[in-house]
Amino acid sequence: MVSTFLAQDEFSVPERMRMIELPTTGSTWARSTTGGFTMAKVKVSTEVKAPVERVFELFTDIEHAAERVAGIKKIEVMSTGPFNLGYRWTETREVMGRLDSATMEISSFERNRTYTVTHHKGGVLGSGVRIDTTFMFEPVPAGTKVSIEFELHPEGLPPAVLLPLDWAIGGKVRHVLSDDLDDLKASIEKITGS
């Protein structure tokens, strides 16, 4: 449900990619064998005092996301049927003082374990970014560990153009992701009586 920009922290990149360290920001870019780039990723996590099945069910209840996450202002579901591969919705958030909408789509799905939300932010002349946000759910003694990993893929933009973006909004994105997780955790624990 949460899927916006970029931040820096933990990252994972397929082995076929070569890492390029950018000392001015501490970000890491990966250049693939096909010449594309994946920008640094962020990972945030929390533990929720509820079973995996219930946590997954409530995380994927997109229709009620705006009631559970303060940063989401509006949800418009475009799909019919259950949350699954290909499920789509438009999510509107307040970002840096203005409303911003994005169409989200589930690009990978494994019930009670993981799903990936993909969306695109367009630019001019075919440039822009693809953002993949992967949600992972793992049973732990206290309930469920929920992790979110972000990946930003420039489409038609050289890495140097996105470098200022990393610096400018990296901390903000980490803050937004953490706030969203805190909101969801509190909501789920209230619903489940944990």
Report pLDDT digits (tens) over 143-194.
999 999 877 777 766 666 666 666 555 667 778 888 999 999 999 999 999 8
In the three-class reduction of DSSP (H, G, I as helix; E, B as strand; rest coil), residue 132 is classed as strand
Which range of residues forms the domain containing residue 97?
18-192
DSSP secondary structure string for all residues of 77-127: E---SSS-TT-EEEEEEEETTEEEEEEEEEEEEETTTEEEEEEEEE-STT-
Q: What is the DSSP letter of 9?
A: S
| 4 domain-assigned | no
Two tokens at 18?
């070569």
What pLDDT digit, counting tens, does each position of 8-57 carry? 333 333 333 333 333 333 333 433 333 455 565 778 899 999 999 999 99
Tell me the whole-structure pTM to 2 decimals. Answer: 0.76
Overall domain count for the chain: 1
CA atoms within 13 A on the CB side of 10: 6
**Integer-rounded Cα radius of gyration of the chain:** 17
**Environment class of 166 (CB within 10 Å of its CB; exposed 0-12, middle 13-18, buried 19+):** buried
Residue 85 lies in a domain: yes
- Does residue 40 sit within a domain? yes
Q: What is the total residue count of the chain?
A: 194
174 is a domain residue: yes
**Tell me, what amino acid is at 85?**
L
> Does any domain span residue 12?
no
